[in-house]
Amino acid sequence: MELENKVIGQNIARFRKLKDIKAADMASRIGLGEAAYTKYERGETSITLDFVQKVSNELGIDPITLISTTPANIFENFTNSPVSINGNSTVYLMDEKQLDQITKLTESVIALNRKVLETLSK
């Protein structure tokens, strides 16, 4: 399975920023120097499944999400949402466009999961 370094690197960077983790902190958590780590995020270093697993563990997300998400489907800013409640949890209400994008993202993840299962069963 060939991974798309640039797309996955962009996904990692965006999810890391969503979790408010600095690149240097992420690098330290997975045992890399910051310069080496940022090369992964820029797509300059070949991304392995092992690297994806380490990063996904630190981000608390499914590794398939890092591999399958297209950068346009990652919501970096919910400030346009009509309602947000801050505290221990945050609730965001979405408009139809956002809901449609999340639906497409979910469908993409499901399709990729099917492909992975097909590949593993061969």
Closest CA to 5 of 53, 56, 65, 67: 67
pTM: 0.58
Range of the domain at 32: 5-121
Q: Which two tokens stand for residue 7?
A: 């797309």
Average pLDDT over residues 32-48: 93
Chain segment 86-119, per-residue pLDDT in tens? 333 343 445 666 667 777 788 888 888 888 888 8
**Total number of domains in the chain:** 1
CATH number of the CATH domain containing 54: 1.10.260.40
Task: Fill in the DSSP letter of residue 71.
Answer: G
Residue 48: CB partners within 8 Å, gap ≥ 6?
3
Helices (H), 48-95: 49-59, 63-68
